[in-house]
Amino acid sequence: MEIREVILCKYGEIILKGANRQTFESSLVKELRRRASPFGIFKIYYLQSTLYIEPKNDECDMDGMYETAKKVFGIVAVNRAAVCEKSMEAIVATARAYLPAKLAGKKTFKVDAKRSDKRFPLTSPQICQEIGGVVLSTVRGIKVDVHNPEVTVGVEVRDEYAFIRAGQEAGAGGLPPRSAGRGLLLLSGGIDSPVAGCMMAKRGLEIEALHFESFPYTSERAREKVMTLAQEMTEFCSRIHVHVISLTHVQEELRDRCEEDYFTILLRIFMMKLAERVAAEYKCDCLVTGESLGQVASQTLKAIRVTDSVVDLPVFRPCIGMDKSEIVIEARKYGTFDTSILPFEDCCTVFTPRHPKTQPRMEAVQEELRKVDFEGLLDEAYATMQTETKLVYPEYR
């Protein structure tokens, strides 16, 4: 028999959103439709706490659409399912045709049935019993294990159709893209900041990115590395504007006029003030950094307190309580790790002091800042800003 297959996407905390739940569901549909375009023509809609992705013709790339759906924030589980009429005869026939190939080589299974339509004549346990019998009679060597099955066969009886699946995979979780406002990520070429951006995007934050360079002390390859990181982030973060500001003259002035030990914290203050300006221009309501408490000199508690004091916007640090090994795990999950470890320097490695201040006092920092034309240097650096890539979209192949 001919099988009609669809992709079903489940969402989690959106269910709890009450009166504005429809806004979140619409955001998910919009994002999936945008991402679907490279894979063909799909009908995408939501119904009964589930998103449906139905191919409109045989040319649709279901594998590609399935993989990209797993990377859309707001979706907690994804599965492919066969669709059939809402009768037990049709469900059994479809299960007999669809499940053997999906369960080939599996050792154990169980059946989980749900009836959204309570008028359906069989109860959920009765449906499980029927479909379990189909699997045992058509799949060689498989056994029932209701406690720890290798795969769960799902049967869902909904208002219009029934759906049969063999297993499901976890989605990205979180909230839909651009559902929680916009934030500016300070994006370096390291491991931490791309992870921080993805973690905040998971909470629905639309990400703008700001990168600081110090040409010729940093190379064109370093800039290209950051653009590659931004591209990789869009697999989860949807789209990103990437802005680049040169700190070359700022760093030279700090080197020539200020105490070496304060160089790191002074540079960080310039970064935060410039980020605040960019955030205001691009309507961002927060800053995002990849800082982890105590990891480097500028990330001690007192150093963070100093840098936070120079800006009015909230600064989100989702990696603050994570150690490097935990951040690396997240970087691998988001696909940015291999690019992050490429050996191209960023501006933070230029003129690094031998003994950076780890416990700076605000009074001493202010005294150092008075040695340079603070506002003038800010204006000069801000004037160098370029938007390297206006919109960075995921590259689908």
> What number is the average pLDDT over the span 74-96?
96
Give the pairing type, strands 4-10 and 143-144: unpaired
> What number is the average pLDDT over the span 100-126?
94
The CB-based long-range contact list for 87-90 (8 Å cut-off, 24+ gap) reads 87/162, 88/121, 88/122, 88/127, 88/130, 90/162
Mean pLDDT over all residues of the chain? 93
Query: pTM of the full predicted structure?
Result: 0.91
Which uninterrupted H or E stretch holds 232? helix 220-237
Radius of gyration in angstroms for the set of CA atoms belonging to the chain, rounded to a whole number: 26
Q: Which three-class secondary structure state does DSSP give residue 35?
A: helix
Q: How is 268-333 classified by DSSP, letter by letter?
A: HHHHHHHHHHHHHHTT---EE----TTSSGGGSHHHHHHHHTT-SS-EE-TTTT--HHHHHHHHHH
The whole-angstrom separation of Cα 44 and Cα 29 is 6
Give the pairing type, strands 169-170 and 77-84: antiparallel
pLDDT digits (tens, 9 = 90+) for 289-333: 999 998 887 889 999 999 999 999 999 999 999 999 999 999 999
pLDDT at residue 393, as a whole number: 59
Q: How is 335-390 classified by DSSP, letter by letter?
A: T-HHHHTSS---GGGTT--SS--SS--HHHHHHHHTTS-HHHHHHHHHTT-EEEEE
Whether the CB-CB separation of 79 and 91 falls below 8 Å is answered with: no
Q: How is 67-127 classified by DSSP, letter by letter?
A: HHHTTSTT--EEEEEEEE-SSHHHHHHHHHHHHHHHHTT--EEEEEEEESSTTSSS-HHHH
- Per-residue CA distances from 97 to 4, 100, 134 (Å): 11, 7, 10
Nearest to 160 by CA among 321, 6, 322, 324: 6
pLDDT digits (tens, 9 = 90+) for 368-377: 999 999 999 9
Q: Which three-class secondary structure state does DSSP give residue 37?
A: helix
pLDDT digits (tens, 9 = 90+) for 204-238: 999 999 999 999 988 899 999 999 999 999 999 98
- Looking from the CA of 12 toward its CB, the CA atoms found within 13 Å total 15
pLDDT digits (tens, 9 = 90+) for 33-72: 999 999 999 999 998 889 999 999 999 999 999 999 999 9
- Per-residue CA distances from 82 to 129, 144, 155, 373 (Å): 19, 22, 10, 68
Nearest to 187 by CA among 243, 238, 239: 243
Query: Tokens 């269910």 map to which residue?
Result: 15
In terms of phi and psi (left: phi > 0; alpha: psi -120 to 50; beta: otherwise), the region of 229 is: alpha
Whether the CB-CB separation of 378 and 270 falls below 8 Å is answered with: yes
pLDDT digits (tens, 9 = 90+) for 238-261: 889 999 999 999 999 999 999 999
Which uninterrupted H or E stretch holds 134? helix 124-138
